[in-house]
Amino acid sequence: MGMDFSTLRTLISRYCVGEENWVDSRTIYIGHKEPPPGTEAFIQQRYPDNRIVSSKYTFWNFIPKNMFEQFRRVANFYFLIIFLVQLIIDTPTSPVTSGLPLFFVITVTAIKQGYEDWLRHKADNAVNQCPVHVVQHGKVVRKQSRKLRVGDVVMVKEDETFPCDLILLSSSRNDGTCFVTTASLDGESSHKTYYAVQDTKAYSTEKEVDSIHATIECEQPQPDLYKFVGRINIYMGSEPIARPLGSENLLLRGATLKNTEYIYAVAIYTGMETKMALNYQSKSQKRSAVEKSMNAYLVVYLCILIGKAFVNTVLKYVWQADPNRDEPWYNHRTETERQRHIVIRAFTDFLAFMVLFNYIIPVSMYVTVEMQKFLGSYFIMWDDEMFDEELGERAVVNTSDLNEELGQVEYVFTDKTGTLTENNMEFIECCVDGHVYVPHAICNGQVMPDAAGMDMIDTSPGPDARAHEELFFRALCLCHTVQVKEEETVDGIKHGIHQGKSTSFYISSSPDEVALVEGMKRLGFTYLRLKDSHMEILNREDEIERFELLEVLTFDSVRRRMSVIVQSNTGERYLFCKGADSSIFPRVVSGKVDQVRARVEHNAVEGLRTLCVAYRRLTPEQYQEVCNLLSGAKLALQDRDKRLAEAYDLIEKDLILLGATAVEDRLQENAADTIESLHKAGMKVWVLTGDKMETAAATCYASKLFRRNTQILELTTKRTEEQNLHDVLFDLSRTVLRQHGGMTRDTFSSLSGDCTDYGLIIDGATLSAVMRPAQEDSNSGNYKEIFLEICRNCSAVLCCRMAPLQKAQIVKLIKASKEHPITLAVGDGANDVSMILEAHVGIGIMGKEGRQAVRNSDYAVPKFKHLKKMLLVHGHYYYIRISELVQYFFYKNVCFIFPQFLYQFFCGFSQQPLYDTAYLTLYNISFTSLPILLYSLIEQHINMDVLKKDPSLYRDIAKNALLQWPIFIYWTVLGVYDAIVMFFGAYFLFDNTTFTSNGQLMTTNTQMMFGNWTFGTLVFTILVFTVTFKLALDTHYWTWINHFVIWGSLIFFVVFSLLWGGIIWPFLNYQRMYYVFMQMLSSGPAWLSIILLITASLLPDVVKKVIWRALWPTTTERIQNAEKLYKGHLSEFTPLAALHASSRSTRQRRGSIDQRNVPNPRRTNWCCLCANILSRNAP
């Protein structure tokens, strides 16, 4: 009865109380077999199937869900309201004028999003329908992946991907191990070793595996890839045998089986409960500075719209207060409408005016911006200069929403290993008791042909030290997780060939370990293999030594060390431990610590990665105590990680120091040049790394992050131990502010020689103290602001010993500072994902640590050097293009709608439209949209070679310079001016009218029919030509496509107008535009008026630009002028520097410009030409 109650209690807690109360554990029945009677209750649990769903929509919910998401955008929702108002009340314009542009925008966006989701569905189906092998009734059967269930026993073959999360039961290898790559999960591309359950590893056939009778108790699914706690109960006799399960037994979905013929494993997490699926991060939507400016401008224009509608409504009723001025007859007001309450009538009129003026809000701007970003992203992917032949990879764009943000970066946060460096380890030396050993070139597992011996530096050890030396070499041959593989072709590359002989080669999850084992091989001790839990090494006398591997105390980032416990043939047991110097030295009780420490510090200053090696002999009693500690910790289902960490801490103590190793990770090609260019562009570069301070600092000097004259400020644990944190921070603050006089370094050029160059080094422990919130009872205050003040005055910052989460905290701290700078994070490994997601722009490097960073980034590049072109060229161009696009859209809509506002003063505020319905509808969709879209895709205001050679040009567009309020106001005022010129210019042409003999009203000046539609068509014609010519004047880079689109759009307008007014269309109820356009064009004075009004509209802008360029040119404008002056022959960096001084010095240096026959890049701009003439004739 007790069992029934417990079963009932379990069921209630599981299905009624809620998920949060039953996430502790789950029970899995291997092969769906019930446990033997009397052991435990059999409760069949329901788990999801193995389908993976990454798509956003289904066939049924696509339309409602997509519509809901699109109408959450303010502009779309606004136009929907306007469209509904036009349907409900009598408005001056047709609902088509608002509905058609809105329908176009919504449709284009829905098609784009639907296509992207269809691709996701396609990818999901490919994964869900792939075949897997399942053991059923002693046979292997094929199933679709989506049909897998928890408890199924799966067979996976070499190079296949695991279909779900599995517990390894047995393997084709006798020792029950298998080798796996997890590059698609955590970014680690090298091989990892996983272990079968000890009691099932001997089951090697389908029938044997099917006979296993066991249950697994484990935690509910969690996203942590490195954590798993479980227990397997195997029913072999009267009592079940319990064995612990950990992350070393768990094979994750998405990982790939390597170097193992086949494995059998049981499914424990399936479908969306797998760790890979739980790690699908719904990235927070990143919004660019340009998008924020667009929204701010939209609010301003919305206020202008409401203001216009309100003013017109008030003036209408002021106008109609006179009894002689009633509602115009052509508005067709019924008597019922006239008798309505004045408030209702006023509100209806207000809405009607809102509809009439609503085109000032550029709804089509959003779809144009989206198309510009989407199409523009292909220019990054097609860039051959960002193609890496070694990797065979191009740049990748994961999100096109941030293209222009690449031109606004102020802070660059970069990882070191694999990002600045190659992550290609080369063994340099080892030090044993002060004696240094340097073998010849050993590079990442590949032995160079000239490596034929061993160099001994310092004096050779005496006979007494010989045993110590060999123990050190044995320690490095045994203390690792390296696997040995026979020579074969992998990815087209033959491994293990040495001097024409077929040999084995090493693979490991850590490149450092391969380099160390290869180094030992050159020094006489060769690691051969791990077979039947015995590690075999070949010593200098060509004798094979066998050591039984008893325990592996795995490496983790907190301990920063790993250990093995082995037993020699003589029965002696050893604990060998290797790790960072900071984690080994405190645990050492004897050995030549001072000599080894000195060598470690020397190597760290040289930029080498160092490890220390120590050992301890274990007596039988000590070993038994170790076994008890580890066994108790491993079997725990609760807090297993904590208990294991405590056990490791107790075991790894009282060590004897043997020596240290040094491995080099070379700097990537052109990394130093890239960092120098970023500095010149005004960006601050921070290096965030987990490496030790000395190694990281050496890399920073090599990469020119720190220069030789840089004054280094240290904010490290070592310094805070001598002096409290409060005093250290204030000392550093006084140091930097004394030099800069209280101003931040942003006011200085990073190239200025007048101010001291400061570099800050901070470590993870000190950063934690700085970030810790201030206690209420302490007078320490909040250190964050002081820390930020110091950082702002430093040209470069190095953060070492950083945990992944601390990297993200640093980025978040800078993002939230009062300047709100734009940040960019770049990294190559899984440990960089958090900062990549946190920064405004995240860039992944396609390095050797897999694709986790690449998959989570906004952009990905093959090498760090490609960051230079990505920011200085593509970022610069995208920002210039989209800022012009945004300002131009608002400008042309002001030009479009302000004459409509002015017209109300001449039609008794009757809401009479100035333009025809077709013109209202097609103005933003057809007549003016394509030229600006093309401009925003191909405009190059400066040659890209010049942008690369002179990074300081990036400063001209920093801090959203082209979308500031003064520039926005200038464009708006220019639009109002052009609208006034167009309207009143046309108005004065119609000033004098006469009646013809046939009763038509004609203008005296132009001999055109006088009428509303003729007047509106004349204004509209001037408008279309003016805004198109304005864009042509702003274009610097002309190609045949520009000519075709700009002049083609004007020809299309003329042809459309001729057809629209020249044919009686049967689907129209009235033909108000019939013959209007042709009759207007038949008037010679009208042609002359159009030309004069277009010139008058454009002239002030041209004059203003010419004067500004001549008197107060920016660096960009000087280079534009010089490019035109020297016909595109700017070729060297040195003359460009002269352009930063003044236009006079530009002229004086003209003779130094290279006049070789370089092809002209077809660039012209009238403002540049006029400014050239003025500057050349200046006194």
Q: For 1026-1060, write each residue's pLDDT tens digit.
A: 999 999 999 988 899 989 999 999 999 988 888 87
Residue 907's φ and ψ, nearest 5 degrees, are -130, 25
Tell me the pLDDT tens digit for each residue of 290-301.
888 888 888 888
> Is 336 strand, coil or helix?
helix
pLDDT computed for residue 1131 by the predictor: 43
- Take residue 524 and report the two structure tokens written for it: 């006489």
Distance separating alpha carbons of residues 452 and 431, to the nearest angstrom = 20
Chain length of the chain: 1179
Quote the CA–CA distance of 302 and 304 in Å, as a whole number: 5
From CA 555, how far away is CA 578, in angstroms rounded? 9
Give pairs for 548-553: CB < 8 Å, separation 24+: 549/478, 550/623, 551/626, 551/627, 551/630, 552/481, 553/577, 553/648, 553/651, 553/652
Average the pLDDT over each of 587-601, 928-942, 977-991, 1062-1076 and give the range with the smallest value: 1062-1076
- Computed over every residue of the chain, the mean pLDDT equals 78
Q: Catalytic positions, please?
A: 415
Q: What pLDDT is recorded for position 1119?
A: 79
d(CA 270, CA 147) in angstroms, rounded, equals 10
CA angle 762, 764, 770 (to 5 degrees): 75
Compute the Cα dihedral for 1165, 1171, 1175, 1176 and give only its sign.
Answer: positive
Position 676 pLDDT exceeds 70: yes
Higher pLDDT: 104 or 1157? It is 104
Please state, for a pLDDT cut of 70, what percent of the chain lies above it: 79
Extract the tokens encoding 1007: 């001999």
Say which range, 233-247, 883-897, 1162-1176, has the weakest mean pLDDT: 1162-1176
Q: How many other CB atoms are found less than 10 A from the CB of residue 914?
A: 25
pLDDT digits (tens, 9 = 90+) for 985-1006: 888 876 655 444 444 455 555 5
Cα–Cα distance measured from residue 803 to residue 831, given in angstroms and rounded to the nearest whole number: 8
SS3 219: coil
**Cβ contacts of 43 within 8 Å, gap of 6 or more:** 7, 10, 11, 27
CA 316 to the chain's CA centroid: 54
Mean pLDDT on 425-438: 86
Question: Which has more confidence, 782 or 675?
Answer: 675
What is the structure's pLDDT at 604? 80
- Which residues lie below 8 Å from residue 549, measured CB to CB, with a gap of 6+? 478, 530, 533, 534, 535, 564, 565, 566
Summarize pLDDT for 148-176 with one digit per residue, the tens: 999 999 999 988 989 999 999 999 888 78
- CA quadruple 142, 145, 148, 152: dihedral, nearest 10: 50
Would you tell me how many other CB atoms lie within 10 Å of the CB of residue 994? Answer: 11
- C-beta of residue 843 within 8 angstroms of C-beta of residue 176: no
User: Quick one: which of 815, 812, 845, 809 has its CA closest to 830?
Assistant: 845
φ/ψ bin of 575: left (φ > 0), alpha (ψ from -120 to 50), beta (otherwise): beta
Evaluate if residue 20 carries a pLDDT over 80.
no
Q: Which residue has the higher pLDDT, 263 or 75?
A: 263
- Mean pLDDT value of segment 629-640: 79
Query: What's the pLDDT band for 753 if we cut at 50, 70, 90?
Result: very low
Band of the pLDDT at 115, cuts 50, 70, 90?
Answer: confident
pLDDT at site 835: 86
Query: 578: number of CA atoms within 13 Å, CB side?
Result: 24
- Only one residue has tokens 């009691």, namely 199
- Looking at residue 655, its pLDDT comes to 92
Name the residue with higher pLDDT: 826 or 56.
826
What dihedral angle (degrees, nearest 10) is formed by the CA atoms of 1122, 1123, 1128, 1131? 70
pLDDT tens readout for residues 1131-1174: 433 344 444 544 334 333 333 333 333 334 444 454 554 555 44
Residue 613 confidence (pLDDT): 94
Q: Which residue has the tokens 């290096």?
A: 687
Q: For the full predicted model, state whether its pTM sits above 0.85.
A: no
Place of tokens 């509808």: 921
Residue 728: partners with Cβ closer than 8 Å, 6 or more residues away: 715, 719, 720
DSSP for 581-630 reads HHHHGGGEEES-HHHHHHHHHHHHHTT-EEEEEEEEEE-HHHHHHHHHHH
CA distances from 208 to 135, 249, 264, 655 (A): 10, 20, 11, 45
Question: Given this model, what pLDDT does residue 1162 score?
Answer: 42
Q: Can you tell me whether residue 879 is helix, strand or coil? A: helix
Classify residue 999 by burial, with Cβ atoms within 10 Å: 0-12, 13-18, 19+.
exposed
Contact 879, 407 (CB under 8 A): yes
Of 254, 249, 159, which Cα lies nearest the Cα of 196?
249
Edge-to-edge strand list for the sheet holding 859-861: 396-397, 859-861, 841-845, 823-827, 411-414, 684-688, 796-800, 758-763, 711-715
DSSP state of 523: T
Q: Which two tokens stand for residue 1175?
A: 């500057």
Band (23; pLDDT cuts 50, 70, 90): very low
Contact partners, residue 729, CB within 8 Å, separation at least 6: 715, 770, 783, 786, 787, 790
Question: Does 687 have pLDDT greater than 50?
Answer: yes
Q: Is 668 helix (H, G, I), strand (E, B) or coil?
A: coil
Contacts of 1040 (CB under 8 A, 6+ apart): none
CA dist., res. 522 & res. 375, Å (int): 54
CB-CB contact of 952 with 1079 (8 Å): no
Task: Using the Cα atoms of residue 796, residue 800, residue 804 and residue 808 in order, give the sign of their dihedral.
Answer: negative
Cα-to-chain-centroid distance, residue 1046: 35
With CA atoms as reference, report the closest residue to 481 among 509, 505, 504, 503. 509
Name the region of 123 (left: φ>0; alpha: ψ -120 to 50; beta: rest). alpha
Q: What is the DSSP letter of 1122?
A: H
First-to-final CA distance of the chain: 108
| Cβ-based neighbour number of residue 340 at 10 Å | 13
Those residues whose C-beta lies under 8 Å from the C-beta of residue 184, and which sit 6 or more positions away, are 254, 255, 256, 276, 850, 851, 852
Judged against a pLDDT cut of 70, whether residue 40 lies above it is answered with no
Tokens representing 1091 are 């030309």
Residue 992: how many CA atoms within 13 Å on its side-chain side? 4
Question: Residue range 199-218: average pLDDT?
Answer: 88
Give the type of residue at 991: D
CA 588 from chain center: how many Å?
Answer: 44
Cβ(842)–Cβ(857) under 8 Å?
yes
> Smallest Cα–Cα separation from 348: which of 307, 311, 309, 320?
309
Q: CB of 243 within 8 A of CB of 231?
A: yes
**Integer Cα distance of 102 and 1099 in angstroms:** 35
Side-by-side strand order, sheet with 230-234 = 26-29, 214-218, 230-234, 241-245
- Residue type at 44? Q
pLDDT per residue as tens digits for the range 1090-1138: 899 999 999 988 898 888 888 888 777 777 777 665 554 544 333 444 4
